[in-house]
Amino acid sequence: MFGKSFQGTPIVCQSKKLIRLKQFSGEYIELQKLSISNAYIEQSVIPSFKHLLIYFGNVKLQNISPQKAEIFILEHFQKAKYGASLYHRVLKAAFRKALTWKYIDSNPFSQIKLPKIQHKSPIFLTVDELKIILDNTDKKVLRDIFMFAFLTGLRLAEVVNLT
């Protein structure tokens, strides 16, 4: 397929089916820089593609099958549940864009279901534990703050930011 560059010079375009992971990640990241924060790109998008490149190498996009993508995500889930969840979310969106750009025929990340992440219940002080804290606190203002926080259930930042 032939086209013209912005300067009018003829260029030869590769078949979109031959695009490799590294090239796609670069294109996708550049596109994302136009619409999302640099912090999100640095903390989420770039690490997701970095780990995908480490795992698969610079393969053609269509060589990433749903089965291989699921194994990649689940292996990361074993090591870091929240990290794997982030990679899944980012890569699913990225490959949805690759699908839109006709680089691939189907999104290998779209059918992956991650195991549920069990959220830990917050830990609360008991009345007896509060009594121990109050008995060992000399300053009345601190005892009042501790009692207020205990009775309202506010977190430290919420208590500090009250006006």
Give the confidence band of 80 by pLDDT, cuts at 50, 70, 90: confident
State the residue for tokens 């375009």: 13
Q: What is the structure's pLDDT at 6?
A: 45
Of residues 161 and 2, more confidence is placed in 161
Percent of the chain at pLDDT exceeding 90: 66
* 30 pLDDT more than 80: yes
Q: What is the structure's pLDDT at 4?
A: 44
* 58 pLDDT more than 70: yes
Name the residue among 115, 41, 33 with its Cα closest to residue 49. Answer: 41
Helix-helix angle 21-32:46-56, to 10 degrees:
180
Burial of 88 (0-12, 13-18, 19+ CB in 10 A): buried
Using one digit for the tens of pLDDT, what is the confidence trace for 99-132?
Answer: 999 999 999 999 888 877 777 777 888 999 999 9
User: Among the listed ranges 55-69, 90-104, 106-120, 124-138, which one has the minimum average pLDDT value?
Assistant: 106-120
Distance in angstroms (rounded) separating the CA atoms of residues 40 and 36: 7
Domains detected in the chain: 2-100 (1.10.150), 127-160 (no CATH)
- pTM equals 0.63
